[in-house]
Every structure is written in C-alpha cells, then in structure tokens.
Amino acid sequence: MTVVHCAPVAPVIGDHDGNRRRVLTAIGSAVAAGAQVIVLPELATCGYAFTDVAEARAAGIAADDPLFADWSRAAGPAVVVGGFAELGDDGELYNSAAMVDASGVLAVYRKTHLWDREKLLFRPGDSAPPIVHTGHGRIGLLICYDLEFPEVTRNLAERGAELIAAPVNWPLVDRPDGEHPPETVIAMAAARTNRLCFAICDRSGTERDITWTGGSTTITADGWPQGPIADLDLSLSRNKWLSPHNHALNDRRLSF
C-alpha cells in the first residue's frame, strides 16, 4: 500500500515568501503523518487568479529555482508533486508541475490543456506527460483540465503509470445536492476504465472572484473516491484484467 496525502494550501498572490512557508508547512505536516506521496494544488507557489500577464510573470520561477531544493529537503522519504508558474528558458510562462524527492527534481510537466483565461497568461506545453519510476510507484503527472481528456489518461495507463498525481484548481460550479463535483466524476470514470489510481489536490475557499470546489480526493483503481488521504494499492493499477475474458486495454476495437 502507498500512503497518499493531498495537501491543500491557500497561496496568496504576490506573497512569495509566505507561499513558500505555506507549502513547506504542508509538506512537513504530511511527512510527519506518514505520507509517501504528497500532492499540492495547481500553482501552489503563487496563486491562480492573476489580473494580467505582468502579474502572472512576476510570480514565475525557473524549473531549477532554489525553492525546489527546499521541497526536496522537506520531502524526506516522500515524493512531492506541486504546481508552479514556470518561466521557461524560451522566455515563455507555463502552468507547470514539479515532482520532487530527496534526490531533487525528478520531472517537470507543462500543462497542455489550458482552461479559460489561462490561455491569456500561459503557453501550453507540447510534451507528453511524464511517468517517473519512484520508490513509491510509477507516477504520472497531469494538471487540472488535462484530466478531462480521455486520450490523455488512457495514454498514461498504456505507458504503465500506476498513479496519476494531479494538482488542480477547480472553480465551483452548480451541481445537484449530494452529487460529486463533475470533475471528480470524470476522474472516477477515468480511474475505472483504465484501472488506474489517482491523487488529485484541489483548492478550497475563495481567491479574488473565484470560489474553489475543495474537491481533493484519492481514487482507487476501481474508480471509488477515498478522500484526500488514503492508502492506495497501486498493484491494482498493474492488473488490467476485468474478468477472465476481458482486459481494460486489449479489448478496444479501433479498426472501424
């Protein structure tokens, strides 16, 4: 079993030092509680609701920023995944996520599917989401809106991911009383159809004019949500057999 903690933080736009402390406190608390995989929200280092490109760029950091050495030291035996605004070597700004452990930065992924006003602030990434073979399983990276494209989650399943770690910022939308957020329903379906575990860390509260869903959750390979902290059996992600005669990936018929 792998102990997975989704660790929400509430960054404040413009408060760079405060955001660093908030993230390190969240990582430290999760490690102290026994977490082996820790997932932070999208843009956890800086906040989300930027007014313009200038404000967003002011929050940007490079993928080799010393901040990630701080994450690495705080991670201890755990793997940490969290979102940040990345200033690329090409001068562009990306909505990115870093995966870090005690050895340093393991991977950086640039969000490929930008939501709403993100298209005015960020450049979309153009590389496939990475899968990293860590001491706690084969972890794939996605960010928020990426989860809503079945081709993307299927691609990670086909490439051998055992857990998809996804920093997200889900704006609250209307839904019937008692129902899961629609984004959670999509992730549950993706988990079940791909036989693949998920860890999704969302924001809560409000930021400027956005109210967040607070939808942090882990999801088993059977598609059942477990809440923001859970022991996940990632070995189930390696078994795609649904019955003695049915395989989640091999049964697809794409020749028509």
Decide if 46 is catalytic. no
Residue 19 is encoded by which pair of tokens?
């955001």
Residues in CB range of 168: below 8 A, 6 or more apart: 41, 42, 143, 144, 147, 183, 200, 201, 202, 203, 215
6, 46, 144, 201: the catalytic one is 144
46, 86, 111, 118: the catalytic one is 111
Nearest Cα neighbor of 68 from 80, 56, 77 is: 80
CB 175 within 8 Å of CB 185? no
Q: How many CB atoms lie within 10 A of CB 169?
A: 25
Decide if 111 is catalytic. yes
Integer distance in angstroms from the first to the last C-alpha of the chain? 40
Q: Indicate if the alpha-carbon torsion angle 189, 201, 215, 211 is positive or negative.
A: negative
The catalytic site residues sit at 42, 111, 144
